[in-house]
Amino acid sequence: MTATTNPNKALWEKGDFTRIAESMRESGEALVSKLGITEGLQVLDLGCGDGTTAVPAAQLGADVLGVDIASNLVAAGKARAEELGLTNLSFQEGDATDLNELDHKSFDLVISIFGAMFAPKPFDVAREMVRVTKPGGRIVMGNWIPNDPTLVAQILKISSAYSPPPPEGFVSPMTWGVEENVIERFAEAGVPKEQISFERDTYTFNYPGTPSELVTAFRRYYGPTMNAFDAAGANGREDDLQGELETLFDEQNTSEDGTTSIPATFLRVTVDR
């Protein structure tokens, strides 16, 4: 019997997202510090990667479970928790579209920062997040915004011009950055729109090298960009893609000391249960 490949899992196990996550630690910590986390709060971090938000949540005293579809990132998260001596932080593999291993109403706070947005079947994802949240609890999502002029939406826009059209029926992860879609998905999971609030927030990518070195890190380690370069390479256009991304990263860089600091806008969604 041949194992079927889950393309969603394969995308994130490709490369090594920890190399990009390292540039997102300060913003992860700043965001978590605004969530009113208290000792003993039961927190789920969904699509947690190697723990950019799960680690600071545990450092604030919450009992945190990080769930991610990528086995390499779950392993990296476990290694970070162990290194930091965080016994209140654990990680396990799971799929945001079907969290069957988690009980109903088990978390006070479900965080998903640029995580669940990347799972297919957004209505299933909303239903699962709602199902595992306790009454009176909260869901906080961070979602990139389509056509936003800042970094991540622009990387996607540039990359898509080099990539084949997505398969029929494909729902772009970026649709989670549109308020009407978020309202519709949570409404189907039983949450009235009055319980959902939105604000624009900023994540800053801080990297110790130059903007072009950060482009190279995306090219080597970030699954979606790796795929774009594979597609560009098939048409002999890798240099064009590298050039366009370097121009973008240079234009958006606010650091003047040879390092890189690029702010990117996202939609912060809060759902009150």
Question: In degrees, to the nearest 5, what angle opens at C-alpha 172 toward C-alphas 169 and 173?
Answer: 135
Q: Which stretch binds ligand SAM (CB under 6 A): 63-71, 101-109, 248-256, 259-267?
A: 63-71
- Does position 173 interact with ligand SAM (CB under 6 A)? The reply is no
Q: Could you give the CA distance from residue 244 to residue 174 in angstroms, rounded to a whole number?
A: 21
At which residue do the structure tokens 């927030």 appear? 201
Closer of 24 and 155 to ligand SAM (Cβ): 24
At which residue do the structure tokens 């000792």 appear? 39
- Does position 49 interact with ligand SAM (CB under 6 A)? The reply is yes
In the complex, what is the shortest distance from the CB of residue 232 to ligand SAM, in angstroms, rounded to a whole number? Answer: 21
Q: Which stretch binds ligand SAM (CB under 6 A): 36-44, 49-57, 132-140, 241-249?
A: 49-57
- Does position 52 interact with ligand SAM (CB under 6 A)? The reply is yes
Q: Could you give the CA distance from residue 7 to residue 174 in angstroms, rounded to a whole number?
A: 17
What angle separates helix 238-252 from helix 151-160, to the nearest 10 degrees?
Answer: 160
Q: How many residues form the binding site for ligand SAM (CB under 6 A)? A: 23
- Does position 69 interact with ligand SAM (CB under 6 A)? The reply is yes
Q: Could you give the CA distance from residue 22 to residue 95 in angstroms, rounded to a whole number?
A: 23
- Does position 141 interact with ligand SAM (CB under 6 A)? The reply is no
Joined tokens for residue 11? 């995308």
What is the contact surface with ligand SAM in residues (CB under 6 A)?
8, 12, 17, 21, 24, 28, 47-49, 52-53, 68-70, 73, 95-97, 113-115, 118-119
